[in-house]
């Protein structure tokens, strides 16, 4: 019971805390979006299609900040659309980090992502 109250307080404090990691339900939603929406261009397994491969290998060496910016703002002049109406910039950060290091199980990871520098 006590831990339930703590969880509730944590959930309420979440936006204020400034942490970049989305809540678990939202993480699942974002990963579903990655497979369905992003997969329509980047391939069902993100190995490439109309858009380039988004596997950790393919993205090796690319800074997560720039991948996040591409997800959030899109790439004008290319078919890569902006997703800022669908997700927050913190969520774009989180997705970019998922792409660079998918969790071994392929399921929702629990690690927090680094905070955006002010
Ligand atoms: C309508 C097709 C389309 C959809 C949908 C799409 N992309 Fe893209 N994406 C592209 C194309 C095309 C590029 C390459 C742009 C270029 O030429 O620079 C790209 C580039 C990228 C890059 C940069 C890759 C690199 O190597 O620098 C990332 C990251 C990315 N997309 C992530 C996503 C994510 C995440 C989603 C879903 C939220 C998504 N894309 C949905 C077409 C799409």
**Which structural domains are found in the chain, ordered by start?**
25-100 (1.10.760.10)
What is this structure's pTM?
0.78
In this structure, the residues whose C-beta lies within 6 A of any atom of ligand 1 are: 33-34, 37-38, 40-42, 50-52, 54, 59, 62, 67, 70-71, 75, 78-81, 83, 95
Spatial separation of the C-alpha atoms in residues 27 and 108, rounded to whole Å: 7
SS3 5: helix
Digit-by-digit pLDDT tens for the chain (118 residues) are 555 544 444 444 444 444 568 999 999 999 999 999 999 999 988 999 999 999 988 998 899 899 999 999 999 999 999 999 999 999 999 999 889 875 444 434 434 344 444 4
How far apart CA 41 and CA 21 sit, in angstroms, is: 25
Task: Note the helical H segments in the chain.
Answer: 2-17, 24-33, 39-42, 64-73, 89-100
* Assigned token pair, 113: 């992502």
Candidate from 27, 29, 41 with most ligand 1 atoms within 8 A of CB, to mutate: 41
């Amino acid at each position: 019971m006590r831990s339930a109250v703590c969880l509730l307080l944590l959930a309420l404090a979440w936006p204020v805390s400034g942490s970049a990691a989305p809540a678990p339900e939202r993480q699942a939603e974002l990963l579903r979006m990655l497979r369905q929406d992003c997969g329509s261009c980047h391939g069902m397994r993100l190995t490439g299609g109309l858009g380039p491969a988004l596997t950790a290998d393919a993205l090796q060496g690319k800074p997560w900040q720039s991948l996040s910016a591409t997800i959030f703002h899109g790439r004008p002049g290319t078919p890569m659309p902006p997703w800022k109406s669908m997700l927050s910039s913190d969520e774009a950060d989180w997705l970019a980090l998922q792409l660079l290091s998918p969790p071994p199980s392929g399921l929702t990871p629990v690690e927090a992502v680094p905070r955006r520098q002010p």
